[in-house]
Amino acid sequence: EVQLVETGGGLIQPGGSLRLSCAASGFTVSSNYMSWVRQAPGKGLEWVSVIYSGGSTYYADSVKGRFTISRDNSKNTLYLQMNSLRAEDTAVYYCARVRYCGGDCLDYWGQGTLVTVSS
Amino acid sequence: DIQMTQSPSTLSASVGDRVTITCRASQSISSWLAWYQQKPGKAPKLLIYKASSLESGVPSRFSGSGSGTEFTLTISSLQPDDFATYYCQQYNSYPVEFGQGTKVEIK
């Protein structure tokens, strides 16, 4: 059974850093594309980043230069390193597995972890 | 970037109603569109991909259609479990974009 479990969220001051983790089971993270998607409180879904199986990475303009997606193959875990955090980064962050649907659709999602950026 | 616009933002319907949600892309995305269902406090769930392909395990009352810039999600007979927010997502190119969501409420 495919499972994704995010951890690492919490309250952080503006300008601070946080690293989110997404532990996967039931499949191999390194053999798949993986994404992060976030949802601000009461708002819609916003794609954040993707890492391809070959290691290529892409980011939304809103986080480019501040966030870094990575993975640890030995731990079968996906990460999102978030630096220079801003109030507008406050959101529930979901990791999701990308499936090839002619392109990248998201077939399994974690339960999400809440990041609150506030002083 | 490709922008996605859903309508309506909110829809009030009764159990048994036929419900249609529309999603428009700012430029052609061929059939590279997915639909997701999200319930409060839960992660989104993939319903439809490639505009009209039903994800495994999703009830057949859900269907999708369209290509190019205009797409629809139809629920043929609304069930109590279907009251949720629905999002379309284009995956023709990065950055992938979601529509703003359509909340289906009980009438």
Does B40 have pLDDT greater than 90? yes
Does B24 have pLDDT greater than 90? yes
> What SS3 class is residue B84?
coil
pLDDT (average), residues B31-52: 97
Q: B residues 8-27 near A, CB within 8 Å? A: none
- One-letter amino acid of A88: E
B40 lies within 8 A of chain A by CB: no
B98 lies within 8 A of chain A by CB: yes
B68 lies within 8 A of chain A by CB: no
Does B94 have pLDDT greater than 90? no
The shortest C-alpha distance from A74 to chain B (Å) reads 26
A62 lies within 8 A of chain B by CB: no
Does B48 have pLDDT greater than 90? yes
The answer for residues whose C-beta is within 8 angstroms of residue B75's C-beta and 6 or more apart is B18, B19, B20, B61, B62, B82, B104
Measure the CA–CA gap between A112 and A45, rounded to whole angstroms.
Answer: 12
How far CA A9 is from CA of A30, A88, B44, in Å, comes to: 23, 15, 19
pLDDT (average), residues B18-35: 97
First to last CA, chain B: 36
> What SS3 class is residue A87?
helix
pLDDT (average), residues B78-104: 95
Per CB-CB distance under 8 Å, the chain B contacts of A58 are 94-95
A91 lies within 8 A of chain B by CB: no
How far CA A43 is from CA of A85, A92, A108, A109, A115, in Å, comes to: 19, 10, 21, 18, 14
- pLDDT score of B106: 87
Residue ranges of chain A with per-residue pLDDT less than 50:
none
- pLDDT score of A18: 98
Does B107 have pLDDT greater than 90? no
- pLDDT score of A93: 98
Strands (E), A8-110: 10-12, 18-25, 33-39, 45-51, 57-59, 67-72, 77-82, 91-100, 104-109
pLDDT (average), residues B18-36: 97
Share of chain B above pLDDT 90, in %: 95
pLDDT (average), residues B98-104: 97
Q: Which is more confident, B107 or B86?
A: B86
